[in-house]
């Protein structure tokens, strides 16, 4: 656990100094527990998520960075690779393709990229995926934009 704490303290310092513009917030939830973080992603530009703010819950295992963190959306997100009710994210780097080279910041950036680049062949939201599979890009973008306006307000 000491390795995880050292690494997370360094990542916290790095994020306070040099946070990517795609990430509005990346920090521990409170000073008492360095293993629970909160992130807020800005919706990708030129996507139906643009203008939205999407909160993520990050639970870091004691074996970090050897084992990946668990990231889930707190903000409801309409996306083929995100479970609408639980916020679970289907992304290979969160499971089989994890590497200790990934940081919480780079993982958040990968999720932000996923928002703009859905993979409908491995869906957690079949309705959103089916719109893309059927070629109804306009319908998909309209649905996503609606949910973004409804749920992805500027964070407090």
CATH (domain of 57): 3.10.110.10
CB atoms inside a 10 Å sphere around CB 14: 14
pLDDT confidence bin for 155, thresholds 50/70/90? low
Query: In this structure, is residue 126 part of a structural domain?
Result: yes
Query: In this structure, is residue 156 part of a structural domain?
Result: no
The Cα-based distances of 154 to 43, 75, 86 in angstroms read: 11, 11, 21
Range of the domain at 78: 2-151
**Which residue's entry shows tokens 């100094």?**
17
Catalytic annotation, residues: 90
Q: Look at the chain and report how many structural domains it folds into.
A: 1
Per DSSP, the three-state class of 16 is helix
Q: Which residues sit opposite 36 in a β-bridge?
A: 59
- pTM metric for this prediction: 0.94
pLDDT tens track for 40-96: 999 999 999 999 999 999 999 999 999 999 999 999 999 999 999 999 999 999 999
Query: In this structure, is residue 72 part of a structural domain?
Result: yes
């Amino acid at each position: 656990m000491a390795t995880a704490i050292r690494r997370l303290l360094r990542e916290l310092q790095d994020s306070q100094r040099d946070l990517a513009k795609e990430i509005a917030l990346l920090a521990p939830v409170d000073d008492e527990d360095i293993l629970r973080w909160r992130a807020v992603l800005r919706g990708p530009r030129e996507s139906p998520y643009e203008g939205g703010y999407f909160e993520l819950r990050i639970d870091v295992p004691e074996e970090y960075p050897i084992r990946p963190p668990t990231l889930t959306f707190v903000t409801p997100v309409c996306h083929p690779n995100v479970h609408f009710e639980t916020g679970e994210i289907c992304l290979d780097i969160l499971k089989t393709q994890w590497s200790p080279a990934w940081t919480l910041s780079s993982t958040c950036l990968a999720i932000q990229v996923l928002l703009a680049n859905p993979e409908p062949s491995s869906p957690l939201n079949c309705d959103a995926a089916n719109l893309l599979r059927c070629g109804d890009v306009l319908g998909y973008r309209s649905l996503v934009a609606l949910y973004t306006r409804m749920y992805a307000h500027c964070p407090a």
